[in-house]
Amino acid sequence: MVKISRREGRAAQLIEHHDFQSLFDVLKAKKYRLIGPTVRDGSVVYDEVARVDDLPVGYSDEQEKGSYRLNKSDDHRLFGYGVGPHSWKKFLFPPAVRLWQARRDDGSFQIIPEDYHAEPLALIGVRACELNAIAIQDRVFLDGEYRDPIYAAQREKLFVLAVNCGQAGNTCFCASMHAGPRVTGQFDLAVTEVINGESHYFTVEVGSPRGEEVLSEVPHRPASGEEKALANQIITQTAASMKRSIDTRGIKQRLYASFEHPQWDDIAARCLACGNCTQVCPTCFCSTVEDVTDLSGNTADRWRKWDSCFTTDFSYIVGGSIRSSVKSRYRQWMTHKLATWIEQFGTSGCVGCGRCITWCPVGIDITEEIAALRAEKQPATAVEAAKEDVSYADV
């Protein structure tokens, strides 16, 4: 779905497991702050990591609709789990950020712009779906007339160490969204973790001159044909074992034609409108702006915060909220994500990471809902449709 130019890398290389720490050390020496998966509160989250041991070594996850559990095993796999509740967007598009301040003195006022300083970050363990999500947000925040300076500043200072997925989570459906599990570009280095009997190694693909430079300082050797084949086989197996999928054929027209489908009522009865799906989504980009003043009235701050199309205020205009029903909000979210997004940005807004399925507290599954919308249910009659709260503006 997302077009990413494939870089012509040189022949695959190999880093032994016991040399992986050296990769961290080289990146640190190059003044990168290392951000990667680590275990906190029973989940794999993205936070600062200093050593390989900070990664969820030996952990695997079990994900289902509305459920996530971590299990610890004896193997020393560094990347034996799928994506967790965090996504990399929190570093590029912070949950809350001050845009500027204003100060009043002697009858006039002064605007104090914010310095959008970004520090070099090395992202460790970025999955294919996540790279595609970043590519999607690039279009949102960098393309076109309005470029987001906060996103742009951080985007330029990323080193990306991507990982090909060695297992598909139960809620993953990236293969059907053409967004994984194999990384196909937009990385500096990409690794595939292989445990084969006693040997534990990472095949490495170089995606940029910067990646090449880092690799040159880490002990490595060319991968043999067999070692490469094993790595390839792992990724192929991951794709083949994926249980969920979305049928994307004609999805735009299908959703446009489903405006009055009874399934939306069914979803609304279950949906909490809590906004979790939008907050965990690696491509959802909506924000709200809040002005705050202090008691003296001499300083005012303007803040940008993550928002969600599931809140009432999100569509508030003069006279009220356009999307007053939960049904209309869920429909808006899904139709935007899978259909209108294509018209707006040229790609789907979904990469099949499955976060919205796992992290929905009541386990609403976008793949099941799409399947239900495609099923041959009779749409509500025009009369029934007119009785709902849907108004002409309720798109």
Residues that bind other proteins (CB under 8 A): 40-43, 45, 66-70, 84-86, 90, 95-96, 269-276, 279-280, 290-297, 305-306, 308, 310-313, 326, 358-363
* Residue 347: CB minimum distance to other proteins, A: 24
Nearer to other proteins, 274 or 342 (CB): 274
Nearer to other proteins, 176 or 311 (CB): 311
Burial of residue 280, with CB atoms counted within 10 A of its CB: 0-12 exposed, 13-18 middle, 19 or more buried: buried
Nearer to other proteins, 279 or 283 (CB): 279
* Residue 93: CB minimum distance to other proteins, A: 12
The C-alpha angle 287, 292, 298, rounded to 5 degrees, equals 145
Nearer to other proteins, 262 or 379 (CB): 262
Nearer to other proteins, 45 or 153 (CB): 45
* Residue 301: CB minimum distance to other proteins, A: 11
Nearer to other proteins, 2 or 360 (CB): 360
Measuring CA to CA, which residue among 11, 58, 53 is closest to residue 36?
53
* Residue 31: CB minimum distance to other proteins, A: 25
* Residue 106: CB minimum distance to other proteins, A: 15
* Residue 338: CB minimum distance to other proteins, A: 22
Burial of residue 245, with CB atoms counted within 10 A of its CB: 0-12 exposed, 13-18 middle, 19 or more buried: middle
